[in-house]
Amino acid sequence: MFCEYMVSFTYSTLHNNYSIKFMKLEELLAKIKDELRLRNYSRRTINAYLTCLSDYFKYIKNIQKDPDIGLIKKYLLEKQEKGQSSQTINLYLNAIKYFYREIFKNNFPINIKFAKTSSKLPVVLSRAEIEKIINSIENKKHRLLVSLSYGAGLRVSETVNLKVRDVNLDELTLHLKSAKGNKDRLTIFPEKLKADMAELMALQHGNEYLFESERGGKLTPRTAQKVFEKALEKAQIQKEATFHSLRHSFATHLLENGVDVRYVQELLGHQNIRTTQLYTKVTNPNLKNIKSPLE
């Protein structure tokens, strides 16, 4: 059961004003959800912000119009002490800032620096390892799913959300709709997959998901991840790779082929080129050409 919070403030949406004395947590979250939807935030971001804010509200107990900076810092530090990643802590901070800025319309500065994110290099599979993984998959549709995810640099969510109408066999392109950040983009896929793609699409309608589950509808991301995990194990590859490593490998191999980093950025849909430049650290030929002094 949700607790009732003593809230005394004017809640302003894009269209309405609400004067609230008592409000249940679920009602407040519903209003925040409406505001996020009006501003066209992606479903994933909406769910993430609501989860973060629900936890934050339960922690502070009494919701005031002015943020308690000391309490927010204490809250985030406790998250850190529990082993939460820097990315997760930053997500909580973003959600809290959004709440006070956009819901309370409070411009009081929350001068808390974002947690330093990890600088770990992505796990990249070699071309030989990719081939070994793909060849270990007996199910033809599953093999195509993994092949396309690597060959087009797709996130797992993009793979399972891909529809027949989004595939252009003649131009060898995919139109990814409402991808991360709720943005559309075009990416490529290899000609060697064209025949298998055409065969899979032959008996499907344009609005159907390319990789449908046996019960109809799209596959879940977890199902696609399990397909990859089983293939990785069967191929006896010891790297700590995940489904997302297919995307990392796509980017790295393009750079190794001499593709300009700006084109790789566009294909991956990265907003900031610095995100794409991380892969240049993995594929730096100058470093690889240096010989160790140990003879």
Residues annotated as catalytic (active site), given as ranges: 155, 180, 244, 247, 270, 279
**H or E stretch covering 141:** helix 140-152
Give 182-219 as a DSSP string: G--EEEE--GGGHHHHHHHHTTS-TTSBTTB-TTSSBP
Amino acid at 168: N
Alpha-carbon torsion, ordered 251, 257, 261, 264, to 10 deg? -40
Cα–Cα nearest to 220, from 162, 150, 178, 157: 157
Which of 138, 139, 206, 140 has the alpha carbon at shortest distance from 169?
Answer: 206
Distance CA 103, CA 106 (A): 8
Question: How far is 261 from 184, CA to CA, in rounded Å?
Answer: 20
Residue 254 contacts residue 268 (beta carbons within 8 Å)? no
Spatial contact of 250 and 151, defined as CB atoms under 8 Å apart: yes
Q: Of the candidates 119, 270, 55, 260, which has an alpha carbon nearest to the alpha carbon of residue 183?
A: 270
The neighbouring-strand residues paired with 9 are: 20
Q: Three-state SS for 18?
A: strand
